[in-house]
Amino acid sequence: MSNYHTKSVTELSAMLQAGEVSSVELTQYFLDRIKNNDDKLNSFITVCEEQALAQAAESDEKLKAGNAPLLTGVPIAHKDIFCTDGVKTSCASKMLDNFVSPYDATVVTNMRAAGVVMLGKTNMDEFAMGSSNETSFYGGVKNPWDTLTVPGGSSGGSAAAVAARLAPAATGTDTGGSIRQPAALCGLTGLKPTYGRVSRYGMIAFASSLDQAGTFTQTAEDSALMLNVMSGLDEKDSTSVDKEVPDYTTNLNQDLKGLKIGLPKEYFDEGLNADVAKVVEAAIAEYKKMGAEIVDISLPNSHLSVPAYYVIAPAECSSNLSRFDGVRFGYRCDDPKDLEDMYKRSRGEGFGEEVKRRIMIGAYVLSAGYYDAYYLKAQKIRRLISDDFKAAFEKVDVIMGPTAPDVAFKIGEKSDDPISMYLSDIYTIAVNLAGLPGMSVPAGFVNGLPVGLQITGNYFKESQLLNVAHQYQKNTDWHRAIPEDFS
Amino acid sequence: MSYDSNWEVVIGLEIHCQLATKSKIFSGSSTAYGAEPNTQANAVDLALPGVLPVFNKEALRLAVKFGLAVDAEIGMRSVFDRKNYFYPDSPKAYQITQMDHPIVGVGHMDIELENGETKRIGITRAHLEEDAGKSMHGAYHGMTGIDLNRAGTPLIEIVSEPDMSSAKEAVAYMRKIHSLVRYIEISDGNMQEGSFRCDANVSVRPVGQKELGTRAELKNINSFRFVEKAINIEIERQIDVIEDGGKVVQETRLYDADKNETRSMRSTEEANDYRYFPDPDLLPVVIDEAYVDALRKELPELPEQKKQRYIKEFELSSYDADVITSSRELADYFETVNAKCGDAKLAANWVTGELAARLNKEEIEITDSKVDAGAYAGLLLRIKDNTISGKIAKDVFEAMWQGEGSADEVIESKGLKQITDSSAIEAMVDEVIVNNPTQFEELKSGKDKMMGFFVGQVMKASAGKANPGQVNQLMQKKLKG
């Protein structure tokens, strides 16, 4: 009985390269796992069985020919926010339920070129707006550790799929914590690179100045392999950065003696679950054992990050989502009376409640007479928050703390209370506002539910982040845990 | 204009000028005009989910050139903003434009008034933006067709100060800008294809009133003739409204050329809040002095410089120099004619006279002239060497225009060569004197006016072919007896 699902991407890659398993075999194995298990989770919106097997066969040819790139033949899942040529790309919205993209996102192109096989498209919060994956048009996703709880969001489908080992790894996007928070709640290694490191082309925009693509993997080593393929300047994205892409795997084994870890006092306040705090403290203690030095720091404006985010992100989304107007693609209402009726009903019927809430907030904060008081002020706060980090990184190498204030909450628990839902990203949002790279690494359990340790690095220091995470994973095995029902 | 002098008119123009780039401002699609609908619209132009704009640096170059040509401040750091509004031909439901930090700042353009004076019109700013697509009503059984070929074509919107005080001034300014953008080759200026069009802000106030009257914006006027008509009709309308005790409403109005009237497009209640904000998909555009200097060096001789040179070098009148330099093509034509015929004044007279009149009559541009500059110079050479008179030259020109050949061929085939044989002319002179004895007596008694009569009669007798100078000389001789 094979147990490919217990293997990391790094291990599967080695097996493929050594010819111990074929890509077709591996792909079929994960397609079967999806078929047999996903009814419990709802983590996929689309499974691409035929295409995946065809891609796998191609990858096998490349592997046979030799010199195939490391990820050749490895099957993964893409968040349904990435456009995929010829495959439905819905962003978990009724608005795009009928949308088949005619082109590939750059992330997808890069993965394809590296020989990676796409198993399918994962569920998510509608247009990436949500922290529990409950806003999806295709229904909520369940957390494999306890199917009565949420997997986090917005990349909940990717997180649940990898946590249940229905895919060895998956892509995600992180606008305010949408990779790190679900990674924490599902016990995975989640990486959000520096803003501009990975192209946003073909990634359906939520908030353009905050969105960044990243990965869900079992290990930091896997994240490094994936990031190698995803990163780099893209001429189609003016905000992607022309900065050399190092081999992120080469730095993983550096020891951490003398590493300065900053602990912001604001991340350990009364909003944090005491048991989660203990898990995080234990992880910090582990780092001390490895020779790291702990420095108390302050990010004095961090309490402003959620309010500033909920001005900037909705402002951008209100404009970004205006293109969904029923004219050229996507949902159009039945029998429109006239143009205005078509706009109003197509958008009114095509978007879910949370999306509409944010569009309305965004339109409000940008409107004449309110722009200065909201949008401009939020931009000023954003600068203050970046400055806080800048000052902190003069003293420390990385910043650590909890990824989320609590473990996975019950389905429905926060769906009627947007503010309490928004607060579940309280520790992750500031990192997006500053554009910094961040990770969440499995650090233990509270009541059988995973807890994530958040590690934030300085701009373009992904190599260092991955090194810091990998060293921890060499000394712990939280990241190896698989939910019982899916073992 | 028929309105009385108790009213003062204030006009400002916003000119939209398409930049002559090969591809669109934020996508790689072609900007060529006239293709089948939607064949020049790629994923970015269609605003498919996930696509991003990438700024075409050629549009930047052309916009900066414009700024330099109107002596404007150049925005060393310009920023793209989103102007949000829903309309089917605006696929993103926002237009990428520049709000607070335009690429071109304060500049100016001088126009010639009818009384010969020069007036300086202020340019407030010029910013880069993308054009919208086109809605096509009617042809689709109650539906509206959308053609996105034009969507994303680069534009500069040139905003003037409200410095013009008549429709004529507005047209003069618009013509100057039109001529300039073609001189510096940043736009084809093709008004039929919509490459150059304008919105006019018009208001009136009683003479002596300090504050401006309420303005109406006339949208999308795409010919010089319509600009003049639309503004004049709007001035009359506003004066009528006020004189009837009403108030002018601030609104957008559309000029209907068929009915020669303006009518309201949108009322103020529906006024859009465009919710401008900086486009997070595009970085601020930062340029340096070296970049600007290089473009300054690329600028050709500008119309004003050319005009001054013509006045100095060729001793042309200010008026002639102004007319000839009104378009680069006309100036080029003039220079070719001048180079070949070697007489600048003759060339200027004939270019601004016979040729200009003909072009005007046929409503065509100099580039479509049926007589090219080389052929036209050939005609002037025959005037210069006395082969034909100026009067005959007009007939020759007409024949050349009809495609009957070069000046020499027409003169030859029609036998229009000037008669310079003195004895032949003298015979005609004698005959005219004999036939008009009373008039000849009057001439002899000092009535100099009669000289014109005799020269005219001889010319008539020669079918215009006699050399007028020689006729004159011979008449003088006869007079002295």
Residue B169 pLDDT more than 70? yes
The predicted structure's pLDDT at residue B179: 92
Please state the domain count of chain A.
1
Q: What is the ipTM of this complex?
A: 0.96
The predicted structure's pLDDT at residue B441: 87
- Which segment of A18-32, A202-216, A247-261, B253-267 scores lowest on mean pLDDT? B253-267
The CA distance from A208 to the nearest CA of chain B, in Å, is 6
Sheet with B81-84: strands ordered across: B94-97, B81-84, B277-278
Q: Check B275 against A91: CB less than 8 A apart.
A: no
Tokens encoding A319: 């404009």
Residues sharing a CB contact under 8 Å with residue B336, sequence separation 6 or more, in sequence order: B373, B374, B377
Interface test with A, best of B86, B100, B143, B286 (most A CBs within 10 A): B86
Say how many residues make up chain A: 487
The CA distance from A414 to the nearest CA of chain B, in Å, is 30
Alpha helices in B351-389, H assignment, sequence order: 356-362, 373-384
User: Given pLDDT bands bounded at 50, 70 and 90, which one contains residue B271?
Assistant: low
Nearest to A356 by CA among A43, A127, A114, A185: A127
Residue B343 pLDDT more than 70? yes
Residue A325 touches partner B, C-beta closer than 8 Å? yes
- What is the β-pairing status of strands B251-256 and B216-221? parallel
Q: Check A319 against B275: CB less than 8 A apart.
A: yes
Residue B46 touches partner A, C-beta closer than 8 Å? yes
The predicted structure's pLDDT at residue B302: 93
Tokens encoding A348: 């009114």
- What is the β-pairing status of strands A117-122 and A189-192? unpaired
The predicted structure's pLDDT at residue B386: 83
Asked if residue A330 belongs to a domain, the reply is no
Region at B430 (left for phi over 0; alpha for psi -120 to 50; beta for the rest) = alpha
Cβ neighbourhood burial of B390 (10 Å; 0-12, 13-18, 19+): middle
- CA–CA dist B433, B428 (Å, integer): 9
| B3-46 pLDDT per residue, tens | 667 899 999 999 999 999 999 999 999 999 999 999 999 999 99
| B199 membership: H or E segment, kind and range | strand B196-206
Q: Check A367 against B273: CB less than 8 A apart.
A: yes
- CA–CA dist A190, B251 (Å, integer): 54
| A316-327 pLDDT per residue, tens | 999 999 999 999
Domain(s) of CATH 1.10.10.410: residues in chain B: 422-480
Q: Which residue in B93, B277, B283 is closest to A366 by CB distance?
A: B277
Is A260 marked active-site? no
- Which segment of A56-70, A246-260, B125-139 scores lowest on mean pLDDT? B125-139
In this structure, what is the dihedral angle of CA atoms A372, A378, A384, A388, given to the nearest 10 degrees? 180
The predicted structure's pLDDT at residue A1: 56
The predicted structure's pLDDT at residue B445: 85
The predicted structure's pLDDT at residue A100: 98
Interface test with B, best of A94, A236, A318 (most B CBs within 10 A): A236
Query: Which one from A7, A79, A192, A414 is the annotated catalytic residue?
Result: A79
Distances (CA, A) of A361 to A133, A310, A313: 20, 8, 10
Domain that holds residue A146: 4-258+397-486
The CA distance from A380 to the nearest CA of chain B, in Å, is 14
Q: Check B280 against A208: CB less than 8 A apart.
A: yes
Nearest to B375 by CA among B346, B410, B343: B410
Mean pLDDT of A112-131: 98
Q: Check A239 against B91: CB less than 8 A apart.
A: no
Nearest to A455 by CA among A403, A388, A394: A403
Asked if residue A274 belongs to a domain, the reply is no
Is A101 marked active-site? no
Tokens encoding A345: 């009903």
- What is the β-pairing status of strands B134-140 and B143-147? antiparallel
Q: Are B230 and B202 in contact (CB under 8 A)?
A: no
The predicted structure's pLDDT at residue B3: 65
DSSP codes joined into one string, A87-155: BB--TT-GGGTT-B-SS--HHHHHHHHTT-EEEEEE--SGGG--SSS-S-TT----BTTBTTB---SSS
Is A79 marked active-site? yes
Residue A378 touches partner B, C-beta closer than 8 Å? no
Q: Are B32 and B189 in contact (CB under 8 A)?
A: no
Q: Per CATH, the architecture of B422-480 is what?
A: Orthogonal Bundle (1.10)
Region at B315 (left for phi over 0; alpha for psi -120 to 50; beta for the rest) = left
| A333-355 pLDDT per residue, tens | 999 999 999 999 999 999 999 99
The predicted structure's pLDDT at residue B2: 52
Asked if residue A297 belongs to a domain, the reply is no
What is the residue-averaged pLDDT of chain B? 92
Mean pLDDT of B47-73: 98
Higher pLDDT, B114 or A319: A319
Residue A236 touches partner B, C-beta closer than 8 Å? yes
User: How close are the terminal C-alpha atoms of chain A, in Å?
Assistant: 13
In this structure, what is the dihedral angle of CA atoms B217, B223, B228, B232, given to the nearest 10 degrees? -50
User: Given pLDDT bands bounded at 50, 70 and 90, which one contains residue B419?
Assistant: confident
The predicted structure's pLDDT at residue A362: 98
- Which segment of A75-79, A244-248, B341-345, B386-390 scores lowest on mean pLDDT? B386-390
Mean pLDDT of A394-413: 97
DSSP codes joined into one string, B2-23: -S-TTEEEEEEEEEEEE---SB
User: Given pLDDT bands bounded at 50, 70 and 90, which one contains residue B462?
Assistant: confident
Asked if residue A431 belongs to a domain, the reply is yes
Q: Check B88 against A327: CB less than 8 A apart.
A: yes
- CA–CA dist A466, A254 (Å, integer): 10
B-proximal residues of A, 85-144, CB under 8 Å: 89, 91, 96, 99, 101-103, 105
Residue A337 touches partner B, C-beta closer than 8 Å? no
Mean pLDDT of B109-123: 91
Tokens encoding A405: 């204030």
Distances (CA, A) of A3 to A25, A119, A143, B159: 12, 18, 22, 69
Residue B282 touches partner A, C-beta closer than 8 Å? yes
The predicted structure's pLDDT at residue A15: 98
Query: What is residue A328's DSSP assignment?
Result: S
| B226-269 pLDDT per residue, tens | 999 999 999 999 999 999 999 999 989 999 888 888 988 865 44
Q: Check A239 against B281: CB less than 8 A apart.
A: yes
Chain A residues in contact with B92 by the CB 8 A cut-off are 322-323
Asked if residue A19 belongs to a domain, the reply is yes
The CA distance from A22 to the nearest CA of chain B, in Å, is 34
Interface test with A, best of B275, B276, B282 (most A CBs within 10 A): B275
Q: Are A407 and A413 in contact (CB under 8 A)?
A: no
Residues sharing a CB contact under 8 Å with residue A423, sequence separation 6 or more, in sequence order: A271, A306, A405
Q: Check B50 against A371: CB less than 8 A apart.
A: no
- CA–CA dist A457, A400 (Å, integer): 9
Chain B residues in contact with A237 by the CB 8 A cut-off are 52, 54
The predicted structure's pLDDT at residue A424: 87
Q: Check A325 against B93: CB less than 8 A apart.
A: yes
**Domain CATH for A412:** 3.90.1300.10
Residue B273 touches partner A, C-beta closer than 8 Å? yes
| A446-476 pLDDT per residue, tens | 999 999 999 999 999 999 999 999 999 999 9
B-proximal residues of A, 206-225, CB under 8 Å: 207-209
